[in-house]
Amino acid sequence: MTKSKNEKLFLRLRQEYPVFVYESYSIEAIENELIIGFRFNIDRTIDFNPKIRIRTGRLIHNLPEKVDQIKPLLENIVFNIGMIELISYWKAACPPVIRIMPAQLTTGQAEWWKKLYFNGLGEFFYLNSIHANPSTFMEIESVGVRGFTVQSVDHADNYLIPIGGGKDSAVTLSLLKNNGEKIMPLIMNPRGATIETIKAAGLDLDDCILIFRTIDPKLPELNNQGFLNGHTPFSAMLAFYTLLCSALTGYNNIVLSNEGSANESTIPGTGINHQYSKSLEFENDFRSYYEHYISEDFNYFSLLRPLSELQIAGIFSKLPEYHKIFRSCNVGSKTDTWCGKCPKCLFTHIMLSAYMGIGDADRIIGAAMLDDAENEHTFDELTGYSGIKPFDCVGTTLEVKQALEMILDQKKNRPLPYLLSRFTSQVTEKIMQPDFSRIEEAHFVPDKLIKLLKLKIQ
């Protein structure tokens, strides 16, 4: 991505707009929908009022009654959802003070949020050429008088699974469903690939929690006017919504599909990581946060954390029911297509080619990506020969190289596509062979599910 020189704009906006205010939140249950809203403002001059709808379908018999039963817990979670939602609006002007009015944060909570904001905005700061200091980039003033207490939750040992429409969540869904577990998919802003993934699993949308989240239209208006814009920690925001859905449904296991590669920095040698809120560090911090400040009864973990991208791709290659309908392209997400040019498309193409062959990968993506010279720069980023990785959710450079070696083994003496030939001319080091039976030890996956993973990678 191209860097913008916005340091002066950053400093000017902070002077013009010194305070961001989190004013209030609201909760309303109507039939089978929970409607939550927030009121934020930038220095009392620019107001934001986003609303989010959560549809429970036939999953909860009487939603208003359920909300009343667990109202203190829900209010705590919704307040915290506001804490992560606000960062999308704060980043427009980056005021040096965030004033929290609906409730009182402890010192520990304030420090937790500052860490998340700073690390989750690492890409935003980098691409805007902003030199932010983790101690001074913002001050959190908590002026609310209400305090929340940790609540117990009546939960069953079932599985709530966020579905993104890509190969990873399809693997998680398939593993748990075929193992006979009681599952409930969760979809934020349903689209073609997420809906088709549910259908391919033999479910329908009434079996799911659906979250409809929109951005206040004033934010894109500010972007068009020249305010700051950039990446925010989406997965951290989703994490707090999953707590809300877990509390409503009683499904205590919240099962993500983040793999070990999410821990690798996008900029080598730095803490800048596009996938920070998918990392093990965030997962650990988040588990600690809800245990100390919300409830000890949730269980948030990533099932695929112990696996490599190659292991996950190997499992996915044996799930043909998802091959035609999954999508991992951010560029084409709104049209449910593969663009055939972005890092996600090329990375996915390489992983599929390693197991299914280049021809099948070409047919799935709809482009002969390894023979496209226009993908050269992206290819060099994925293989680690350009200095930085793409700012996208892709695997480690080692995993990409290992996948390319697997493709080369298939080709033997046959002509190589352009990018594969380029790789053979670039690589000088001996590439470590993948250990397909390896289970990484750093994870929070329950033992019985580790046994399931081991069966699938043997």
pLDDT band at 381 (very low <50, low <70, confident <90, very high): very high
Where does the pLDDT of residue 320 fall: very low under 50, low under 70, confident under 90, or very high at 90 and above?
very high
CA distances from 22 to 40, 52, 181, 227 (A): 5, 16, 40, 19
Mean pLDDT of 315-340: 95
Q: Using 50, 70 and 90 to split pLDDT, how confident is the model at 333?
A: confident
Task: Using a cut of 0.85, tell me whether the model's pTM lies above it.
Answer: yes
Place of tokens 């579905």: 163
Contact 102, 82 (CB under 8 A): yes
Q: What are phi and psi of 6, to 5 degrees?
A: -115, 20
From CA 62, how far away is CA 67, in angstroms rounded? 9
Q: Classify 37 as helix, strand or coil.
A: strand
Q: What is the mean pLDDT of residues 43-60?
A: 93
Q: What is the pLDDT of residues 385-413, one digit of tens each?
A: 988 899 999 999 999 999 999 999 998 87
Higher-pLDDT residue of 415 and 42 is 42
Residue 294 scores a pLDDT above 80: yes
CA angle 78, 391, 125 (to 5 degrees): 65
Is residue 204 pLDDT above 80, yes or no?
yes
Predicted confidence at residue 98, as pLDDT, reads 98
The average pLDDT across 379-383 equals 96
**Non-local CB neighbours of 180 within 8 Å, separated by 6+ positions:** none
- 46 pLDDT band (50/70/90 cuts)? very high
HSE-CB for 92 with a 13 A CA cutoff: 28
What is the predicted pLDDT for the residue at 268? 87
For the record, the structure tokens of 368 come out as 């002969």
If pLDDT is split at 50, 70 and 90, which confidence band does 1 have?
low
Q: Is 342 helix (H, G, I), strand (E, B) or coil?
A: coil
Average pLDDT of the residues of the chain: 96
Query: Is the pLDDT score of 228 beyond 70?
Result: yes
Contacts of 417 (CB under 8 A, 6+ apart): 358, 368, 370, 371
Q: Read off the pLDDT of each residue in 92-107 and give the average, rounded to a whole number.
A: 98
pLDDT of residue 59: 82
CA-closest candidate to residue 205, choices 216, 221, 192, 222: 192
**pLDDT, mean of residues 329-337:** 91
Cα dihedral sign for 116, 121, 126, 129?
negative
Share of the chain above pLDDT 70, in %: 100
pLDDT for 186 beyond 80? yes
Condensed to tens digits (0 to 9), the pLDDT of residues 139-178 reads 999 999 899 999 999 888 999 999 999 999 999 999 999 9
Structure tokens at 388: 């930085």
- Are β-strands 19-30 and 33-42 bridged in parallel, bridged antiparallel, or unpaired? antiparallel
Q: At 322, is the pLDDT very low, low, confident or very high (cuts 50, 70, 90)?
A: very high
Q: Is the pLDDT of residue 2 over 90?
A: no
| CB neighbour list of residue 87: distance below 8 Å, 6 or more residues apart | 117, 120, 121, 232, 233
